[in-house]
Chains A and B, each alone.
Chain A
Amino acid sequence: MRWLNHDRVRAVSALRRVRAPARLAPLAEDPCEGRARLPELLGAEVARNRYGEFLRVRQWLAEPEPLEDAEVLPRLLRTPAEAEEPGDSKRWLFLDTETTGLAGGTGTCAFLVGLGWWERGGFRIEQLFLRDYDEEHAVLLALAERLEERPVLVTYNGKSFDWPLLETRFRLTRQIEPHPPRAHLDLLHPARQLWRVELGTARLAEIERHVLGLDRGPDILSDLIPQMYFDFLRGGSPEPLVPVFEHNRGDLVGLATLARRLARLGNAPESGGPLEQYGLSRLFERAGDRAQARRVYQMALGAGLPRAVGMAARRRLARLARRDGESELAQSVWRGMAEGSEDAEQGEDDAERKQTLEAILEACEQLAIHYEHRERNGQEAIEWTRHAIALLVDAESGFGLERRVRDRWRTSLERRLLRLEKRSA
C-alpha cells in the first residue's frame, strides 16, 4: 500500500488514541524472564491439553463449607422445569471471569476464567489463565471439560455478562462446542431483591462486606483490570497480575458464601431480618410458592418493616390472600391499611407518599367490593367508598398524584358510590 510507506501514516487520526494508554506497570526488564516468573509468582502450573498450554492456579479452602440443603435455591430462582437436578450442589460450578472489556461483542475476551466447586468438605478453586491469546482454545477446552463434570452454573450477573461472552468465545473457535449448562443460577437477581433497598447497591463486594461479613482486604479497582492485562501482554512485568488473581478468587469465595446464605434464608426465613424476609417472600411469590410467600410476608410484617416497605408488603399479601381465597386474611390486612390512613400523610418523599396513598385507596376499594358482593352490606360499602374519596380530595390539596392517576381513581370511586347509593335508596 502506497500510503503506508510514507511518513504521513503517523498523521492518520485512526492511529491516535483518544485516551492515551495509562501504562500502569513498568516494562519488565526482560519480558521473557517476566513471563517465566509468572507460574512461581502466582503459584500456578503449566497445564496442557490438545490445543496447547495455559496456566492453571489450583487452591483448596476449608471455607466456605459445602452446602447441603441446596434445593431451595433453584426454586427461589425459578429455574426452568427442564433443568436437571439443579438442586444437587455437587453438580454446581461457580464461575467468574476477568475480561478485556465490558463492552461485549466479539472483540472482548475472557483472559482469566475462575471456577469453583465443593470438594472434600471445602471449596476448590481453579483459575485458568491465557498468557497470550493463542492459549485461548486450550483454556476454553479445559472449561468445557469442567462444565461437563459439573453442568450447573452459578454466577453473579453471569446470565447477561459472563456466559454470553464465553458462548461467543466458544463460537469463535468453530471447534469447541460445550454442552450448554443444565441450569444457570444467577445470584444477582435474588441478591438485589434482598439487599439493594438496604445497601443501595447490589455489588458483590458490598454484599460480602455488609451481609456476609467477609473482608477481602485491599482489592483492586476492577475498571483497571483490562489495562493491567494489556500491559502484561505488551511485555509489562507480571507483578500487577497477582492482585487480579486474588480479586477473582475473592469473587468466587464471595459467590459461594452468598449461595450458602441464600439457601439458608430460603430454608429458614426466620433466620433473616425483616427486610430480607420481605425480599424472600417476593422471591417465593414470583416462584409461584404462594403459601410460603404469604407466610413470609406475615413474618416480615410481624418483625417490623419500614413504613413504605410495610405498606407494599401488606398490599402484596392482601392480593395474594384474595387470589388464594383467604378472604379473612385479606380483609384484616386491608382493614389495617385503611384504618391507618394517617400513614398517607407521612413518608419520606412524594413518590413514597403517592405509593402509600394508592395502597390505601386500593384497600378501601377492595373493602367496598367485599361488603357489596360478599356481605351484601351496602351501607358499609358506601362508607369505605366515601372514605376513599375523602382521602383523595385531601390528597389533592397537599401532595398530589398525577392528574391522570387521580382522575382514574376519582371516576371509578364516584361511579361506585353512585351505584351503591342508587341501590340502597
Chain B
Amino acid sequence: MPTFFIRRAGSPAAASLTDAVAALRSRQPEIAREDPASSIITSVCELPEREATLTPVPEWVRPELAAAYRAKGISQLYSHQAAAAEAIRGGGNVVVVTPTASGKTLCYNLPVLNAILENPDRRALYLFPTKALAQDQLAELHDLEERLGDAFAVFTYDGDTPADARRAIRERGHIVLSNPDMLHAGILPHHTRWLRLFENLGYVVIDELHVCRGVYGSHVANVLRRLARIARFYGSEPQFICSSATIGNPRELAEKLAERRFELVDEDGAPAARKTFVFYNPPVVNRRLGIRRSYLGESRRVAQEFLARGLQTLVFANSRLHTELLLTYLREANPAPPGAPSSLRGYRGGYLPGERREIERGLRAGRIRGVVATNALELGVDIGSLDAVVMAGYPGTIASTWQRAGRAGRRTAAREGGCAVLVASSAPLDQFIITHPEYFFGQSPERAYIAPDNPEIFLNHLKCAAFELPLQAGERFGATSIDEPAEALESAGFLHRSGAAWHWTDEAYPADAISLRAVTSDNFTIMDTTGGEPEVIGEVDFASALTTVHPKAIYLHEGATYAVDRLDFDGRKAYVHQVESEYYTDAILYTQVRILEQAARKPAAVRQARIPDPALAGQRAAGNAPAAASHGDVLVRSQVVGFKKIKFFTQENVGAGELELPENEMHTTAFWITLERDLVAALPFSVSERQAGMRGLLHAIEAVATLLLMCDRRDLSAAIGERPPEPGRPEASPALEETADGRGLEEFFEPNLYLYDAYPGGIGFSEPLFQMSGEILDRVGELIARCPCESGCPSCVGPPESEMRPKQAALAILELLKQPSG
C-alpha cells in the first residue's frame, strides 16, 4: 500500500497549517453574515481522520507473493483491496472506486500476479490513459518481479517501444502495459503476432475508467468490442477489472464500456489524514457587472499563506499558460537565496521525462517546497503527500477536484493533516460549485456517459474490426447486428462479401486514419503561403473550420496572426498568409435546428422521467405543463453569414463583413425544452427582454448540463428556435444561435431551447439530459438566484446587453415553468 511516511528535517508543525487556515478565514468580510453573496470563504469543511480497515491477506494468495508484499511492508490488506481481490478471484468483472493514494493497484496486481504464478501461461493486458501512468506502474511491477525472482515478465508497449524489443514483449510479456490508442492502432491490427497474449488472455485492466467518457469513451468501448472479438477468436474470455475515481455511476459506465456485468467495490478501507477543505470565492469588485477579483491573483495570495509558513504546497492551474504565470508570481514572492536553485517548480506536459522524475523525487524528499502543475500531476503519479493543495479555478469535474485535493494530507505520526483550497473563477461552473458546497461534499452527482453506437464511431471501428477478422453474417458488434452496416460499407467499397463473410478490400490500413480523440478525422489543413511554397502549419476539424478559417478571417497560430485568403472546401484546405493584425475575427453563425424524430417527451420540471407515453408524443402539450422537455434526433444546419472584427486587448468592435459560405448540415441528437405560448405570454417583460431571458436561461442550462455530464463545453451546443408546427415536418422556423449579433431578431411565441451534441451522430448526452431535466432546472434556478450580479453576468446568464434584464426574465421563466399544471 502506498503509504508515505516521510519525515523531513525542520518539517513545519501542524500549528502552521492551522495558522494558515486561520489566516484564510480571517479574510471573510464581516458583512458576509448578513449578505451571503459577499462571502469569500463559502465553506470550510473539516474531513476527519479515518483509521484503516484492515483484513488479513487471503489464504489463497501464494506464499511467495504474500512474502514479496510483506517485504514491501504490506502484511495486511485494506478492506476494499481484499474485497476486490476476492471478487476477481471469484471470476467476476470488477470496478473499484478508489480515492487518491488508497492502494488501488494492489486491488488488481495481487489477484493477477497470483493467477500468473499459478499458471505461467496466463496473460494480462493493462490499459492506462497516459504513457506516464504506465511508466509508474512499470516501476511498481518491476519491483515485485525482482522480489519474486523473475517469476513473471512485464513490459510497456506504446509508441516509444523500440522495434527490436517488440518481438520479445509479444512472446514473453505476462503483463503488457499499454493504452487504448496503441491497442487500437498497434496491437489489434496485428493480432496474429500476439498469439500468446490473446490465447491466454485472462485479465484486462482499465485504469482511470472515469476518463473513458464522451467521445474518447465511446471510442474505447468500440476498441474493447474489437478486443473481445479477437480474444474470442483465440478462445479466451478475459475478465475485466476497472478502477475509477469517485463518480455517480461507475458501475453503469463500466457495464456500458465493456458490455458485461460488473461487481462494484466502493467501500474505502484506506486510512485518511485529517483534512480541511476551503472554498474560496474571490471578492466582488463590481457588483452591477458581477466582476470579481482575478482568481489567479487570489490563488497566488492563498498559496503564499502556505508557502510563507514553510508548508509544502502544490498549486494546480487549468492551463499551461496559467501554470507559467503563477510560477512566475510565486517565485517573485519567494526568491531563492543567491546561487541556489529555486525550490519552486513548474510541472506540466512538455517537460522532459527526466525533469519530471527529478521534480517528483524532489517533492518526496522535501527538497522542493512548491510546485505549480497542470492536471499532469492529477492522475496516479507518485509524489507522496503534501501539506497543502491550491486549485486555481475549478478543475471541471468533482472527480478531478477530489483527485487533486487528495494530494494534500500527510499521515505522519506527529503532525498530520492537510489543507485543500479551491479558488473559483467567474465561469458559471466555478460559481455554481463554490456557492453549492453541499453539492460538492454530498454524493457525487457527476455521471459519465458514452455513446458507442454513434454512427461515425461505430462504422469506423467496424472497419477496423473487418480488417482484423472478416465480419461474419449475423455477427453482432455490441448489441447491433453487423449485416446492415456491413452492406453499407460494402457499397462504399470498403468491404466485399464472399460467402457468409465480409472481407476488407481497401489498400489503406483503417486504424491509421481513426483517432480515438475525435469523432471524424475530416479535418482542414492550414497552408501558409507567406514564404511562397505553401507550408502546412496546422489542422482544424471540419466543424471549427467554418468559424475559424473562413475567407477574410484572422487565424491565430502560435501567437502569430494569419489572414485567410481562400478556403478550398472540397480539397479541405485553407490558404493563409502571415499579417500584422490589430484585430481578430469572430464569426457570425446562424444555426437552425430541425427535429427529425422525437424519442420521448415529458413535463420539463419533473425530476424523474416517466415512461414516455406514445399518445403524448407529437401532441401540442405534455399534459398541461407550462413547458415540456423532449429528446430525439435533429438536423442542425449552420451557416457562417458574416464576421465581426474585434480589436485585441480592448475587445472593441472595429468592423464587420459578410460572407457566403456553404451551409453545413449535421445529424445529431438533442435535448430541448419547449416553452408553451401561455407561459411566454404571461411574462411581464418586453419582447427583447424575453428573448434575452430565454438566451440567458439557455446559457445557464448549458453550464449546468456540462457539470452533470462531466463533459467539455465544446461537447454541447445551444440554439433557440420557434417550435415547429408539427414535429417531423420539414418546415421549421429560423432560429438564432447565441453568438449571433442580434440581426433579424424576431419574437418567439413558443420557443424550443435546444441543447444538442456537437458531434455528428450524437455522443449520448441527450437522453441523460432529458432524464434529469427537473434537476437541471432546479440547479439553474439556484445558479442564477445566488449570483450576486444585478441583472446578469458571465457567471450566470451571460453578459447583459444594454438596458436588458436577462437575469430577471430568466428567473421569471423558471418560476412559471415550475408551476404545477393549470
- A→B interface (CB under 8 Å): 1, 3-4, 6, 8-9, 11-18, 21, 100-107, 109, 132-134, 167-168, 171-172, 174, 226-227, 230, 233-234
Contact = CB atoms under 8 A, between A and B. Distances in A.
A234 to B, nearest CB: 7
Nearest to B460: A14
A104 B512 CA distance: 12
A105 B195 contact: no
Interface string B757-768: 000110000000
B498 A107 contact: no
B225 interface: no
A35 to B, nearest CB: 13
Contact of B455 (A4, A102, A174, A227): A4
Interface SS of B by simple majority:
mixed
B192 A172 contact: yes
Contacts of A18: 508, 513
Interface stretch (B21-29, B485-493, B579-587, B621-629): B485-493
Interface string B106-138: 000000000000000000000000000000000
A106 B505 contact: no
Interface in B760-800: 760-761
Nearest to B667: A8
A103 B501 contact: no
Given A1-B484, A3-B761, A105-B467, A15 B189 contact: no
A50 to B, nearest CB: 16
Contacts of A109: 503
A9 B488 contact: yes
B190 interface: yes
A11 B633 CA distance: 14
Nearest to B188: A106
B349 to A, nearest CB: 30
A297 to B, nearest CB: 31
Given A14-B456, A15-B488, A17-B493, A103 B509 contact: yes
Interface of B: 189-193, 195, 233, 453, 455-456, 459-460, 463, 466-470, 480-481, 484-485, 488-489, 492-494, 496, 498-499, 501, 503-510, 512-513, 520, 522, 596, 633, 635, 665, 667, 760-761
A106 B761 contact: no
A389 to B, nearest CB: 39
Nearest to B507: A101
B407 to A, nearest CB: 41
A170 to B, nearest CB: 9
B501 A133 contact: yes
Nearest to B669: A3
Contacts of A14: 455-456, 459-460, 463, 520
**Residue of A105, A134, A168 with most chain B CB atoms under a 10 A cut-off:** A105
Contacts of B467: 105-107
B550 to A, nearest CB: 20
B515 to A, nearest CB: 13
B509 A234 contact: no
A243 B485 CA distance: 35
Contacts of A133: 470, 496, 498-499, 501, 503
Contact of B498 (A101, A132, A172): A132
9 contacts: A3-B455, A3-B761, A14-B456, A14-B520, A100-B504, A105-B190, A106-B467, A174-B233, A234-B496
A304 B494 CA distance: 56
Nearest to A52: B499
A1 B470 CA distance: 21
Contacts of B522: 13
Contact of B192 (A1, A106, A226): A106
Contacts of B512: 103
A13 B456 contact: yes
B665 to A, nearest CB: 7
A106 B189 contact: yes
**Residue of B233, B453, B761 with most chain A CB atoms under a 10 A cut-off:** B761
Nearest to B489: A15
Contacts of B195: 171
B760 A1 contact: no
A115 to B, nearest CB: 22
Given A14-B459, A14-B460, A4 B484 contact: yes
